[in-house]
Structure 1
Amino acid sequence: MRLTDCIDNALCVLFYLSVRPSGLSTIREMADAYGISGDPLTKVVQQPGDPGSVETVRGRRGALRLFRS
């Protein structure tokens, strides 16, 4: 089975956020952890896919976390 780079990056974001459920994570942290550029991760997070999976915190120190209902 072949995965596109976009799907691979989306899985990287979800995996990274799942191991850090209590804290916020920045795209730079995730990019450094996986050794990839932050631009593709930003593109994945901004795409309207499954609303409610990832919660974004806006502002100067903005970050991401998994959305918990």
Structure 2
Amino acid sequence: MGTKLLATFRDFSAGLNVKDAANLIPENALTESQNAVIGNGYVAKRSGYEQFASSQVTQTLTWQQFGGKKWSDV
């Protein structure tokens, strides 16, 4: 089996950078983030979801415009 290489990064003060080219991104910036909360100089695991109801959706509605007016103005 191959060897796993691990690295520890503690400084995320540059935050998330999705604009610049890979060779221009500083070491203290993230280029991708999944299930994370990015704050001022830190990255933390995002909290999970909480189930509020156990019933299923039984009806969906589609809102349309009538004669250029929004449905709420009709």
Which bin holds the TM-score, normalised by the shorter protein?
under 0.3
Return the structure number with greater helix share: 1
**Which protein is bigger by CA-based radius of gyration?**
2
Query: What's the TM-score once normalised by structure 1's chain length?
Result: 0.23
Return the structure number with greater strand share: 2
Query: What's the TM-score once normalised by structure 2's chain length?
Result: 0.22
Higher relative contact order (CA 8 A, sep 6+): 1
